[in-house]
Amino acid sequence: MAEIGKTVLNSGWLAARSTDVDLTGVQLTTTHPPSGPSSPWMTAFVPGTVLATLVENQVLPDPFYGLENKSIIDIADSGREHYTFWFFTKFQCKLAVNQHVDLNFRGINYSAEVYLNGYKKVLGKGMFRRHSLDVTDILSPNGQNLLAVIVHPPDHPGKIPSSGGQGGDHEIGKDVAAQYVEGWDWMTPIRDRNTGIWDEVSLSTTGPVKIMDPHLVSSFFDDYKRAYLHATVELENRSGWVAECSLSIQVETEVEDNICLVEHLQTQQLSIPPGARVQYSFPEIFFYKPNLWWPNGMGKQSLYNVTIDVDVKGYGESDMWNHLFGFRKIENYIDSATGGRLFKVNGEPVFIRGGNWILSDGLLRLSKKRYQTDIKFHADMNFNMMRCWGGGLAERPEFYHYCDVYGLLVWQEFWITGDVDGRGDPISNPNGPLDHDLFMLCARDTVKLLRNHASLALWVGGNEQTPPDDINAALKHDLRLHPQFENGNGNFSLMEENSLMSGADPSQYLDGTRVYVQGSMWDGFADGKGNFTDGPYEIQNPEDFFKDNYYKYGFNPEVGSVGMPVAATVRATMPKEGWKIPVFKKLDSGYVEEVPNPIWEYHKYIPYSKPGLVHDQILQYGTPNDLDDFCLKAQLVNYVQYRALLEGWTSHMWSKFTGVLIWKTQNPWTGMRGQFYDHLLNQTGGFYGCRSAAEPVHVQLNLATYCLEVVNTTSEQLSDVAIEATVWDLEGICPYYNVHERLTIPPKKTLTIAAMKYPESENPKPVYFLLLKLYRMSDYGILSRNFYWLHLPGGDYKLLEPYRMKKIPLKITSKVSSQGNAFEVVMKVENTSKKPNLENQLDKNSFCHKDVNGDCDDNTHNNQQASFFQKINRCFSRESNSSRVVEINGADVGVAFFLHFSVHASKKESKEGEDTRILPVHYSDNYFSLVPGEIMSIKMAFEVSPGVTPRIRLNGWNYDDDLTVL
């Protein structure tokens, strides 16, 4: 007897090109199954794509390395048959009487025929739809089943113009599929157009009655003190007799690690006629003061486990479904003060600071582990929203799971883009895909797949374009709001509450709780009218972000810039020809043009100069000598650029702006633009610039006015706080020290405190450091710390070049805990150089406790409320627990500048260009600087492969000896 529930079929697959297989699907699944990975069969990457399988088996080179993608034949030249593949596997499944089993495909691109034990099933077209096949009657009596799937590429894969372009020749827009695959100005073309079984394959075993697509909705009254859980479910009776059912819903919450409390249990009795499919809504379940789900930086991400179970009389448990559910209410509307779209969660306005997201990997090698790293990185940057761009994916439930856990609101677009669906070069077809009914089928199915996630905040019709009129009208109708969510504030009168509760149950809607906006530049985004008023996408003067005339509209859905990775990533992803840095070509205008090598150009490098507008930002630090020098200086610029972008936007919080989304946070391949971490999962300096700027409570310098500002995005007033401002020169002298005391910062406010007196004082230094600390006066607990390097107007940072010769003494105390292959390391770094006799008492950096979002243990339901490092602390048995002190001697006094840790595999010898890094690593901070006397603790967590010993290195502006500190 098979166990009730889902069995994932994610291993044991084989693949072969269809033209290399002389057998039919019937033969493959009866008399002539492949015996193993021998020609033409190879081990298959499922879930994944044809190209992922070919690369994994080294049939093709890595298309993301150097210029190798050019050597791979494009589907436009090979024909669709070249990328039409068979996928084969075996599985065990033997049913008992009255059991039923479905074979489920959560995503196939683009169409397929399925053969099981000699029987054929044809799957409909469309990349973004689920397929569920009742295979009960065709399972093998002996339990050994043979499954073969032939997968066909998109019907209109298109051609890639010699000039490249946004979405190639736009033919892919005729299909309901991801559009980025024909290439973009940030992406190389994907040669197989992502053909394959790209998402989960599973078997679901049930008894006579099956549960389908439950919908959970929370509603609030009395200022969020009273809440109701609404639940509607579809039930199908697959038996030939009336099913007498006991249908139950249980809601539980974790009160301590692995200890759960059942909050509610409700059971209903119902009869389902034979062969019938019915919809059933539970009576509303009442909660008093439930734990609410909040976005990152606003509170905890409380999640309840909801289980729906159906028992059938005379049979027993027939089916069960469960989901983590967050009680929260998301509203958004056009703000009258700014014209931007304003988001509220649980009645509190949220100033949006987030990023645009395409997908994890261009070959769709998607995994739960990768998703967890991706989403946690965004939370680490203090972001609170991710926009799933319309040319990419309808993201997967695993993506949304981690957005739920880490508090990232999600704006999900459907599969329309301006370049492919109405504009572009050549001009594209504005009527969207050829099959509008298929588009809507995929859209409705996607809504059902994702709608129960707390993080899902907004549906949008398309990127820089609206869907065709009929699709747009259908989406507006299907995604209309339930009356309770049209303009509710969680504070209804009793009469209003009774009226709303007596109407249609909100869980009976397709969604009913989230606003639908027709396009990314409409209705409160950009100019609100669909004109090209997002962007720009290039290097900027940092001070410009703060100016009143920088951006006219209230919410910018896309503004982008540079994203050079570190040198180790360049060496790991390119041959030596790609290690050459750009040629700096000085123009008659005095500006410099960067000319990158052909490999960088292929990988979409964005220059650090914009002749006529922005002088080269890397050359401000001196002409780079080699790749390492160039990349280090690029990280300085990355940090400054993105910190200034977010600080500039936050400087105008609510007065001019309601939010901003950066284009983009990462690349689904080894691209060299618009990213905060690279495809290998190494963070750039921009990552930590964002992390600093997007703190919920933040002290900053307005680079346009040189005024000190305090940002308070929380709902709590800050009282009796102070700012300490210190200036340090390159000789280690502190020429300026000032404290602004007894400040009160209102909630949801950016407050200007005072103008900086330096550098207006006598004899200002041409290059200097500024350290700002916002602290509580009661105990000197630091709420925010922000470190700047600055030059006088019209100057540059070239004096920092000789500063690299300074030898600043450091003391580094390390504490290491490990369990198995997982490590937690705390590095306490102290600048031990002698400091001037100042009255400040903040040099120890005693940071206040903050509610940070934690890590997720999939065995529990709500332990994400604990801090990431606290969580690791609890689970470590101290299998290894060691500490070490390293002293770095130096006779100089001054700032230890731009320090950064990296983790490596310990090797006695390594080849030139060999990448020894251990990735990913979660750092509490990096690319940090310490003034004389300062101490900072840096926490890091990572995993190593079995048998690998990690080593931690420290580098910095004036530490270039690759010092090993562990």
- Which residues are designated catalytic? 464, 558
Beta strands in 605-746 (DSSP E): 659-663, 697-701, 707-712, 718-728, 736-745
| Position 132, amino acid | S
What does the chain come to in residues?
A: 966
Alpha helices in 709-826 (DSSP H): 800-803
The DSSP line for 200-264 is -EEEEEESSEEEEEEEEEEEEETTTTEEEEEEEEEEEE-SSS-EEEEEEEEEEEEEETTEEEEEE
Alpha-carbon radius of gyration of the chain: 29
Query: How far, in whole angstroms, is CA 562 from its chain's centroid?
Result: 18
Give yes or no for a cis peptide into 110 (omega within 30° of 0). yes
Instruction: Give dist(CA 245, CA 274) in Å, integer.
Output: 12
| Position 892, amino acid | D
Angle at 703 between CA 701 and CA 705, to 5 degrees: 90
- Classify 761 as helix, strand or coil: coil
Determine how many CB atoms are found less than 10 A away from the CB of residue 314.
Answer: 10
List of residues 6+ apart from 226 with CB closer than 8 A: 220, 286, 287, 288
List of residues 6+ apart from 961 with CB closer than 8 A: none
- Classify 399 as helix, strand or coil: helix
Instruction: Give dist(CA 236, CA 513) in Å, integer.
Output: 26
Q: Which two tokens stand for residue 585?
A: 């070509």
Query: Residue 876's closest CA among 950, 821, 921?
Result: 821
In angstroms, the Cα distances linking 713 to 378, 545, 650, 699 are 18, 19, 9, 12
Beta strands 555-560; 659-663: pairing state: parallel
Residues linked to residue 722 through DSSP beta bridges, in sequence order: 775
Alpha helices in 788-886 (DSSP H): 800-803, 868-875
Q: Which two tokens stand for residue 961?
A: 């000896």
The alpha carbon torsion through 433, 434, 440, 441 (nearest 10 deg) reads -120
Q: Which two tokens stand for residue 129?
A: 């739809």
H or E element in which residue 917 lies? none
Angle at 142 between CA 140 and CA 146, to 5 degrees: 45
The three-state (H, E, C) secondary structure of 453-521, written as one string:
CCCEEEEECCECCCCCHHHHHHHHHHCCCCHHHCCCCCCCCHHHHHHHHCCCCHHHCCCCCCCEECCCC
The DSSP line for 82-135 is GG-EEEEEEEE----TT-EEEEEES--BSEEEEEETTEEEEEPS-SS--EEEE-
Residues linked to residue 249 through DSSP beta bridges, in sequence order: 266, 308
